[in-house]
C-alpha cells in the first residue's frame, strides 16, 4: 500500500492552482475564492462529526478525507502553506496541551 501524505495532497492542490476552472474541481474551487473553499470545509467537517457521532467508521473515513482535502484547498486559497501549519503544530507540541491552551487565552 502506497502512503499518500498531506504534503502529497498539498502538492497536488498546488499543481491544479491557476488551471482553468473547467479542468478540475480543485481549480474550480480555488477560482471561487477563500470563502467558497471555507464553506466547503465547514460542510465536510460537519459531515465528519455526524459520522463520528453515529459510529459509522466507513463514513467517517470518507468524510475525514474530504475534510483534509478541503482544508488543504482552503489553506491554498488563503495563502497559508501547509508547512506553516505543521510548524505551528510542532511549536504547540513542544509543551503540554493544557499549558499551550492556557497560554493562548492570554495572547
Q: What is the pTM of this model?
A: 0.86
How does pLDDT run along the chain (107 residues), one tens digit per residue? 789 999 999 999 999 999 999 999 999 999 999 999 999 999 999 999 999 999 999 999 999 999 999 999 999 999 999 999 999 999 988 877 677 677 777 65
Write out the three cell numbers for 31.
Answer: 477560482
Pure H helices in the chain: 6-16, 25-31, 34-54, 57-77, 82-92, 97-105
User: Using CB atoms within 10 A of its CB, is residue 39 exposed (0-12), middle (13-18) or buried (19+)?
Assistant: middle
pLDDT at 56: 98
Closest CA to 78 of 20, 13, 22: 13
pLDDT at 107: 58
What CATH code is assigned to 6-81? 1.10.287.1080
Amino acid at each position: 500500500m502506497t502512503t499518500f501524505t498531506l504534503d502529497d495532497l498539498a502538492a497536488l492542490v498546488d499543481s491544479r492552482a491557476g488551471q482553468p476552472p473547467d479542468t478540475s474541481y480543485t481549480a474550480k474551487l480555488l477560482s471561487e475564492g477563500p470563502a467558497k473553499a471555507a464553506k466547503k470545509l465547514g460542510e465536510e467537517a460537519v459531515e465528519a462529526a455526524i459520522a463520528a457521532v453515529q459510529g459509522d467508521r466507513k463514513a467517517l473515513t470518507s468524510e475525514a478525507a474530504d475534510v483534509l482535502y478541503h482544508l488543504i484547498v482552503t489553506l491554498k486559497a488563503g495563502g497559508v502553506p501547509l508547512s506553516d501549519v505543521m510548524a505551528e503544530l510542532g511549536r504547540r507540541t513542544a509543551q503540554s496541551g493544557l499549558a499551550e491552551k492556557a497560554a493562548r487565552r492570554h495572547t
